[in-house]
Amino acid sequence: VTGSGRAVLGIDVGGTTFTVVLLAADGEVTAAAEEPMPIGLAPTAALKTVTATARTLLATANLLPRELVAIGLAVPGSVDVARGVLRSAPNLPGWRDVPVAAIAADALEAPVAVDHDVRMAAVGESRLGAGRGVASFVCMTIGTGIGAALVLDGRPYRGASDAAGEIGHVPVATDTTAMELCGCGRRGCLETVASGRAVAERVRRLARAGAATSAPALAGGDVDAISARHVFAAAAAGDAVCARVVEDAVTALTAGVTVLVNVLNPEVVAIGGGVSAAGAALLDRLRAGVRAAAWSPAVDVVRIVPAALGTRAGAIGAALHAAEHGGRRTC
Amino acid sequence: VTGSGRAVLGIDVGGTTFTVVLLAADGEVTAAAEEPMPIGLAPTAALKTVTATARTLLATANLLPRELVAIGLAVPGSVDVARGVLRSAPNLPGWRDVPVAAIAADALEAPVAVDHDVRMAAVGESRLGAGRGVASFVCMTIGTGIGAALVLDGRPYRGASDAAGEIGHVPVATDTTAMELCGCGRRGCLETVASGRAVAERVRRLARAGAATSAPALAGGDVDAISARHVFAAAAAGDAVCARVVEDAVTALTAGVTVLVNVLNPEVVAIGGGVSAAGAALLDRLRAGVRAAAWSPAVDVVRIVPAALGTRAGAIGAALHAAEHGGRRTC
């Protein structure tokens, strides 16, 4: 970065981490930071922590916020894009009707365009990643939460209230007695079985109840520190308790992807987010499951591939989308 | 109809019945016929029965096929729209790679445009029915089979292989031992629980096994003649066996509509097809179920309404779509 006014900043706020990226005019990531989300703080204080990291990143690149072409902010949950307000976010408890655009713009002293995190990840992937040149594209993110965003016939599709693609809250389980409460207030949602949070929490609970699992050891002996990554690593190493939890997650994810394939008949489904870092084995099992479960004319043409931009997809998409729309709202 | 060259003909071929409509230039239905599908015949012979009915309808209106603006033919299953070929149709056993456009055009001595029945019903409803003026519209048909077609941001959305909207083959049941084989070769599809065929077949099987149900009496004492309409009528009159079968169907339909609402965030979901004739009670239960199960930001804005064009929607849509495209393929 030269300090010229052609750089773009993207910020992606999640339930577990936040990511900041600085992009050059050609889309190259010139600087990036990923830090734990300060979920213990109130929304305004938490956003100020995030923007402080962004300011540090910019300072290192000898840039001021106002020198940027645009700043894009991706947030989870239900977003009022036009007003820049986060209405609610199951994975950010306590965040209700938060004017995130105004808070971030105030802290950065520059305009900030807000949009939905998963949709921004899809924009990033469709512009620079797994969905490049694809007409009917679904980008699914499996992280703390689970969502999907749709680029249909080449255009981002939002739905009637900016809520299209909420696959994380599709019911996948039927044994109501065993189903956990979802952040959305219902039971049986895909997220409650297959999100990173759900996978980690299920193993933590089993470990506390005395199940024979190596996950606590992987987490340094601290049951509370068990993360989805520990669970996937333990399962891969033959831990039966973790393998069962992963199996349930894969079964639920298969149902979710099957729904997307049957309803949307996409050319590509890209899988991104923290849990997808579990790697090729997870993707192979998903592909096999979807092939067995989905409608042949749709499953015969779909490619299920890893997202290409990693955990930065949302921040990259937010930056690109904001730049495309002059830092204001959107398509 | 005056015999002028401005009329359009639409034909809708289903697993149970076929429908022929003649539309005036203003979209008014000037003549219509609905007859049982000759499913015992081979595809070519069956289509000749259908086109003979169309010829009779035209003769009554003093029209020859070549005087029409266009002829549209709607068929179920997997359709190659560009080639006018029905690749396969779970509800028309034995129909594989049938050149339906060529057969119908040969019989009618005029060009015939072929498209998917549920998508044509959606076009009909979006032009003249429940989806008029709606940007994000889902038209779900519950008849012998179950499908949905999508009009998104005002445009018909087909997907990568003309298969978008195949909600009938979304898995909804998890008790694999109890699940029936679907025409698509899998088990647990929505169609196997909630289609008209499935509802009727389940009660026939229960009646044969000696269950105490009034459905055979409604069917003139002939168990084999029990139809979905008999089952819904018996359930409404307090028949516990039929009520249980209807309850299962409503539960499965709720899951299917919930998926459509969560993934597509539509403004309107219109419900059409033979089973929807079960009426307001079915729709009320569906609305309540979807409200409880779907993601709030999506369910808060959706209207679930009856389709407005009845069993003629597919034929009307096929006629309008063919006329729009000069009797050739399509969007």
For strands A137-142 and A146-152, give the pairing.
antiparallel
What is the distance in angstroms between the CA of the first residue and the CA of the last residue of chain A? Answer: 28
Dist CA A232 CA A282 (whole Å): 9
Which amino acid does the sequence have at A227? S
Dist CA B320 CA B74 (whole Å): 11
For residue B326, what pLDDT band results from cuts at 50, 70 and 90?
Answer: low
> What does A14-54 look like in DSSP terms, one character per residue?
-SSEEEEEEE-TTS-EEEEEEEE--TTS-HHHHHHHHHHHH
Residue A161, min C-alpha distance to chain B (Å): 7
Residues 6+ away with beta carbon under 8 Å from B37: B13, B14, B15, B16, B17, B18, B46, B50
> What pLDDT, on the 0 to 100 scale, is given for residue A147?
87
Dist CA A289 CA A253 (whole Å): 9
What is the distance in angstroms between the CA of the first residue and the CA of the last residue of chain B? Answer: 28
- The verdict on a CB contact (< 8 Å) between B171 and A263 is no
- The verdict on a CB contact (< 8 Å) between B265 and A292 is no
For residue A241, give both structure tokens: 């308790």
Dist CA A132 CA A27 (whole Å): 14
A22-51: average pLDDT: 94
B186 contacts in chain A (CB < 8 Å): 292-293
Dist CA A195 CA A176 (whole Å): 18
Which CA distances in Å does B168 have to A207, B90, B296?
Answer: 40, 11, 24
* Residue B181 or A107, more confident: A107
Dist CA B14 CA B77 (whole Å): 10
Selection from A226, A197, A196 nearest residue A211 by Cα: A226
User: Which of these ranges, A64-68, A169-173, A305-309, B172-176, has the smallest mean pLDDT?
Assistant: B172-176
Q: ipTM value of the model? A: 0.80
DSSP secondary structure code for residue B119 in this structure: H
Whose tokens are 């938490």? That residue is A46
* Residue A235 or B278, more confident: A235
Selection from A313, A272, A315 nearest residue A113 by Cα: A315
Residue B6, min C-alpha distance to chain A (Å): 33
Selection from B167, B131, B159 nearest residue B257 by Cα: B167
A116 contacts in chain B (CB < 8 Å): none
Q: Which long-range contacts (CB under 8 A, 24 or more apart) does B56-63 make?
A: B57/B9, B57/B20, B57/B22, B57/B31, B57/B32, B57/B33, B58/B9, B58/B22, B60/B31, B61/B1, B61/B3, B61/B7, B61/B22, B61/B30, B61/B31, B62/B1, B62/B3, B63/B1, B63/B3, B63/B7, B63/B22
Dist CA A155 CA B21 (whole Å): 35
> What pLDDT, on the 0 to 100 scale, is given for residue A78?
85
Q: Which of B155, B165, B255 sits opposite A171 (nearest CB)?
A: B255
B278 pLDDT above the threshold of 80: no
A28-53: average pLDDT: 95
The chain B residue lying nearest A134, using CA atoms, is: B160
For residue A3, what pLDDT band results from cuts at 50, 70 and 90?
Answer: very low
> What pLDDT, on the 0 to 100 scale, is given for residue A57?
96
- The verdict on a CB contact (< 8 Å) between B169 and A295 is yes
B177 pLDDT above the threshold of 60: no
Number of CB atoms found within 10 A of residue A57's CB: 19
A244 pLDDT above the threshold of 90: yes
Selection from B85, B98, B83 nearest residue B41 by Cα: B98
Dist CA A103 CA A101 (whole Å): 6
B33-73 residue pLDDT tens? 999 999 899 999 999 999 999 999 999 999 999 899 999 99
Selection from A258, A268, A263, A266 nearest residue A293 by Cα: A258
B238-256: average pLDDT: 93
DSSP secondary structure code for residue B162 in this structure: S
Residue A267, min C-alpha distance to chain B (Å): 5
Dist CA A11 CA A297 (whole Å): 39
A254-283 residue pLDDT tens? 999 999 999 999 999 999 877 766 777 889
Which amino acid does the sequence have at A318? A
B5 pLDDT above the threshold of 60: no
> What pLDDT, on the 0 to 100 scale, is given for residue A331?
36
A122-143 residue pLDDT tens? 999 998 999 999 999 999 988 8
The chain B residue lying nearest A165, using CA atoms, is: B263
Residue B7, min C-alpha distance to chain A (Å): 32
B3 pLDDT above the threshold of 70: no
Q: Detail the DSSP E strand segments found in chain A.
A: 8-13, 17-23, 29-36, 70-75, 78-80, 85-88, 96-98, 113-116, 137-142, 146-152, 155-157, 268-272, 303-306
Reduced to 3 states, what is the DSSP secondary structure of residue A74? strand
B86-97 residue pLDDT tens? 999 988 989 999
The chain A residue lying nearest B264, using CA atoms, is: A164
The chain A residue lying nearest B156, using CA atoms, is: A153
A302 pLDDT above the threshold of 70: yes
Dist CA A208 CA A83 (whole Å): 44
B267 contacts in chain A (CB < 8 Å): 160
For residue B327, what pLDDT band results from cuts at 50, 70 and 90?
Answer: low
Inter-chain Cβ pairs, chain A and chain B, closer than 8 A? 137
Q: Which of B148, B158, B293 sits opposite A171 (nearest CB)?
A: B293
Whose tokens are 């040969």? That residue is B106
Query: What is chain B's mean pLDDT, rounded?
Result: 89
Dist CA B30 CA B48 (whole Å): 23
The chain B residue lying nearest A292, using CA atoms, is: B186
> What pLDDT, on the 0 to 100 scale, is given for residue A247?
92
A145 contacts in chain B (CB < 8 Å): none
> What pLDDT, on the 0 to 100 scale, is given for residue A188?
80
Q: Which of B157, B170, B296 sits opposite A152 (nearest CB)?
A: B157
- The verdict on a CB contact (< 8 Å) between A301 and B152 is no
Selection from A199, A261, A204, A265 nearest residue A228 by Cα: A199
Dist CA A112 CA A71 (whole Å): 5
Sheet of B8-13: strands edge to edge?
B29-36, B17-23, B8-13, B70-75, B113-116
The answer to whether B212 and B241 have CB atoms below 8 angstroms apart is: yes
Query: What is chain A's mean pLDDT, rounded?
Result: 89
A264 contacts in chain B (CB < 8 Å): 159, 164, 263
A2 pLDDT above the threshold of 70: no
For residue A153, what pLDDT band results from cuts at 50, 70 and 90?
Answer: confident
Q: Which of B161, B262, B293 sits opposite A297 (nearest CB)?
A: B161
A138 contacts in chain B (CB < 8 Å): none
> What pLDDT, on the 0 to 100 scale, is given for residue A329?
44
For residue B175, what pLDDT band results from cuts at 50, 70 and 90?
Answer: low
> What pLDDT, on the 0 to 100 scale, is given for residue A5?
55
Q: Detail the DSSP E strand segments found in B29-95.
A: 29-36, 70-75, 78-80, 85-88
Dist CA A48 CA A41 (whole Å): 10
- The verdict on a CB contact (< 8 Å) between A171 and B295 is no
B130-153 residue pLDDT tens? 999 999 999 998 888 898 999 998
The chain A residue lying nearest B303, using CA atoms, is: A160
- The verdict on a CB contact (< 8 Å) between A264 and B263 is yes
For residue A26, what pLDDT band results from cuts at 50, 70 and 90?
Answer: confident
Q: Which of B148, B258, B302 sits opposite A170 (nearest CB)?
A: B258
A173 pLDDT above the threshold of 80: no
Residue B57, min C-alpha distance to chain A (Å): 35
B163 contacts in chain A (CB < 8 Å): 265, 295, 297-298, 301
B209-228 residue pLDDT tens? 999 999 999 999 999 999 99
Dist CA A101 CA A111 (whole Å): 8
* Residue A86 or B153, more confident: A86
- The verdict on a CB contact (< 8 Å) between A155 and B153 is yes
Dist CA B235 CA B245 (whole Å): 9
For residue B2, what pLDDT band results from cuts at 50, 70 and 90?
Answer: very low
Selection from A259, A188, A288, A246 nearest residue B188 by Cα: A259
Selection from A148, A2, A143 nearest residue A63 by Cα: A2
> What does A175-199 look like in DSSP terms, one character per residue?
-GGGPPBPTTS-BSBTHHHHSHHHH
- B232 conformational bin, left if phi > 0, alpha if psi -120 to 50, beta if neither: alpha
> What pLDDT, on the 0 to 100 scale, is given for residue B320?
92
> What pLDDT, on the 0 to 100 scale, is given for residue A59?
95
The answer to whether A71 and A7 have CB atoms below 8 angstroms apart is: no
The answer to whether B195 and B203 have CB atoms below 8 angstroms apart is: no
Angle between helices B280-293 and B240-264 (to 10 degrees): 50
**What is chain A's alpha carbon radius of gyration, rounded to the nearest angstrom?**
19
* Residue B26 or A151, more confident: A151
A301 contacts in chain B (CB < 8 Å): 160-161, 163
> What pLDDT, on the 0 to 100 scale, is given for residue B180?
78
B1-13: average pLDDT: 77
A2-31: average pLDDT: 87
- The verdict on a CB contact (< 8 Å) between A159 and B262 is no
The answer to whether A302 and A261 have CB atoms below 8 angstroms apart is: yes
Q: Which of B158, B163, B264 sits opposite A295 (nearest CB)?
A: B163
| Dihedral over Cα of B57, B62, B64, B65: its sign | negative
B331 pLDDT above the threshold of 50: no
Residues 6+ away with beta carbon under 8 Å from B1: B7, B22, B24, B30, B31, B61, B62, B63
Dist CA A36 CA A17 (whole Å): 4
